[in-house]
Structure 1
Amino acid sequence: MHTHDVNAWRHDHTFDQDKFHSGERRTLIVVFLTLVTMFIEIVAGVVYGSMALLADGLHMGSHATALGIAAFAYAYARRHARDRRFSFGTGKVNALGGFTGAVLLVGFAVYMGIESVNRFFNPVAIVFDKAILVALVGLIVNGLSAWILGAHDHAHEHGHEHHHHDHNRRSAYFHVLADALTSLLAIFALLAAKYLGWQWMDPMMGIVGTVLITRWSWGLLRDTSQVLLDRQAHELDDEVRSVIETHASDRISDLHLWSIGPGIYAGVIALVSNDPAPPHVYRTRLQQRLPQLVHVTFEVEPCPGHSGHGLRG
């Protein structure tokens, strides 16, 4: 076989990870909004002597760090997409960024819960008007950020990317959503405390927020860890079998599918048949029906007692 014949069968393993995706653009916009708000609140807190403003500004800084991790994950995956040291491309950097963000989210929830419990036993004087103003500013900024990150694209990029598979974007979304929820609960609690005298509402809403944020972070940790640990993509098993086992003698003997990026999968499939076709026939048929399977290796063997040689491809 000539070299040019081999090259015709070769392909890269970037799987569009070298493209600038919408999740990265949206995350960068949100990082900018968060940094601007952080700067304004810190300056205002120092100038006006408001600890509430200063504390919220520093809190925004912690989330700017988490969002910065998400932005870095996008940039790293894009810039190293053609690095041959990554066997299946850099799609899993997305899940790693999401996992890291989820861990930070858990830390935020734990701190919020401890502080809320402490406020039950050691209440502090609240400057209601300024605290409500800070919460309103936070709600507006984080609500806008959540909308930017959570909005659906009008069209899927490159035919494969679905934003609900983008764990990195999902992590950034949960961070700003957690901030927006915190601000909303704070406004409700502060109004109740100011006008009804229910001081206990402030720490109570903190505990409610802790429970909700912990639930979001747990779901994100579960989903991203499954990707990082190559857990089998069982939701595609039946579809693969329905496409491949169309001939009476074609049967899948071994099937492994795993995620290698947002909404894209790789697979290794072993097939036995009385009359096996070349591997590229099965691969073409499969990718026409399931384009999200971007890298599939077939091993085709004849049934025992039938003539023929095993084929791989």
Structure 2
Amino acid sequence: MSTHYSDTLAVSAAAHDHDFLGAAHDANARRTRLVVMLTAAMMVGEIVAGYATGSMALLADGFHMATHAGALSVAALAYAYARRHTHNPAFSFGTGKVGDLAGFASALVLALIALAIGVESLVRLFTPATVAFGEATVIAVIGLAVNIASAALLGHGHDHGHGHDHSHHHDHHDDDDNDTDHRHGHHHHAHGDNNLRSAYVHVLADALTSVLAILALLAARYLGWVWLDPVMGIVGGLVIARWAWTLMQDTAAVLLDRTHGGIASAVRAKMNAAGDVQLTDLHVWRIGPDAHAAIISVRTLGAPLATPVLRDRLNGIESLRHVTIEQH
């Protein structure tokens, strides 16, 4: 993934690829496939056991797991599609944003799940149903164990999937990209696999519902607080809705080519530092988990400058992988 520059004075016609997939793409794809298989196995087991025992609790949880298995499958397919079409010239900037598209779709599914949980919980709050507390608690514990295992698989990639592929950085150094986003508790490098994140959020959502269900079932069984079960459902639905909204916002920003403020500020500062050019137009957008593209237009305040001079000013902004510089 080399960085490419051109200007109105000298335009390079050298061929280059548009492989802007994340450095951990294949590893994250493997993790997601494992979680799909784990979730599907749990789903099938619960549905079969539900039919065999006549347990509606088992059947309900099995079909609930089916929605998550479906969403996780979409994530796995997105990884495969992005890898298969990496070098397809039909995609102008490669397939680095396929994961964001899948993440947005997963966010919509999460929102629907949150709505369904909320509605069902409200119904149960006013018209309580008979619950087999012991059996339901066992189901919830097993489901939680599966979710913890799944979270462990995906969490490694979620926490450390911001790895940097420096093997193709021939045009600039691999320093900080000056993004000041600290949402993850460390210096953020404008990286993030939203496809993996969507799968991770689905697993967390399922784990949350399991934990809340266990607490509510134990309280109902031993304290008689039957009302706590639907209340916990409403709380869980609200939390999941919040996660879905955040994921939807972040993936939509990528799909709509929202300007990355930190990188844009860094480009602006570096281009204007020498005082010999005036930045007239700037576009910076994400084209993959580890990659951004930029179109930079400058007006020289004196004699025209060679493209390498302007190019070298961008040293240190490591996530810029496809850059066009227009000089006029």
TM-score normalised per structure 2: 0.85
Q: Deviations over 1:258-290 (max 9, x none)?
A: 11111311010001222332223322441x311
Letter in 2 for 1:139: L
Q: Which SS does the other structure have where 2:285 is aligned? A: strand
Letter in 1 for 2:19: T
Q: Shift in Å at residue 242 of structure 1?
A: 2.4
Q: Shift in Å at residue 20 of structure 1?
A: 4.7
**2:179 paired residue number:** none
Spell out the pairing of 1:203-242 with structure 2 (5 A cutoff). Answer: 203-242=230-269
**2:182 paired residue number:** none
Is this contact kept in 2: 1:192–1:198, CA < 8 A? Answer: yes
The structure-2 alpha-carbon separation of the partners of 1:50 and 1:74, relative to structure 1 and needing over 3 Å to count, comes to same
1:47 equivalenced with 2:52 (yes/no): yes
**2:178 paired residue number:** none
**1:35 paired residue number:** 40
Spell out the pairing of 1:1-313 with structure 2 (5 A cutoff). Answer: 9-16=14-21, 20-151=25-156, 152-153=159-160, 156=163, 158-159=165-166, 165-273=192-300, 274-286=302-314, 288-301=315-328
Gaps of 5+ in 2: 1-10, 167-173, 175-187
Q: Which SS does the other structure have where 1:255 is aligned? A: strand
Cα separation, 2, equivalents of 1:67 and 1:97: 10
The structure-2 alpha-carbon separation of the partners of 1:94 and 1:245, relative to structure 1 and needing over 3 Å to count, comes to same
Q: Which SS does the other structure have where 2:213 is aligned? A: helix
Cα separation, 1, equivalents of 2:257 and 2:43: 38
Letter in 2 for 1:177: L
**1:306 paired residue number:** none
Q: Deviations over 1:212-234 (max 9, x none)?
A: 00100000111111111111112
Cα separation, 2, equivalents of 1:234 and 1:72: 31
The structure-2 alpha-carbon separation of the partners of 1:100 and 1:163, relative to structure 1 and needing over 3 Å to count, comes to farther
Q: Shift in Å at residue 162 of structure 1?
A: 7.1
The structure in which a higher percent of residues are helix is 1
Cα RMSD after superposing both structures: 2.2
The structure-2 alpha-carbon separation of the partners of 1:132 and 1:204, relative to structure 1 and needing over 3 Å to count, comes to same
Letter in 1 for 2:127: N
Letter in 2 for 1:153: H
Letter in 2 for 1:298: I
Is this contact kept in 2: 1:268–1:296, CA < 8 A? Answer: yes
**2:170 paired residue number:** none
Is this contact kept in 2: 1:116–1:207, CA < 8 A? Answer: yes
Q: Percent identity?
A: 49
Cα separation, 2, equivalents of 1:280 and 1:13: 21
Is this contact kept in 2: 1:269–1:297, CA < 8 A? Answer: yes
Number of paired residues? 295
Q: Which SS does the other structure have where 1:269 is aligned? A: strand
Gaps of 5+ in 1: 1-5, 302-313
Larger Rg: 1 or 2?
A: 1
Q: Which SS does the other structure have where 1:265 is aligned? A: strand
Single out whichever of 200-209 and 161-170 deviates more from structure 2.
161-170
Cα separation, 2, equivalents of 1:41 and 1:233: 44
Is this contact kept in 1: 2:281–2:296, CA < 8 A? Answer: yes
Q: Shift in Å at residue 154 of structure 1?
A: 8.0
**2:184 paired residue number:** none
Q: Shift in Å at residue 145 of structure 1?
A: 0.9
* Greater relative contact order structure (CA < 8 Å, 6+ sep): 2
Cα separation, 1, equivalents of 2:124 and 2:133: 16
The structure-2 alpha-carbon separation of the partners of 1:210 and 1:155, relative to structure 1 and needing over 3 Å to count, comes to closer
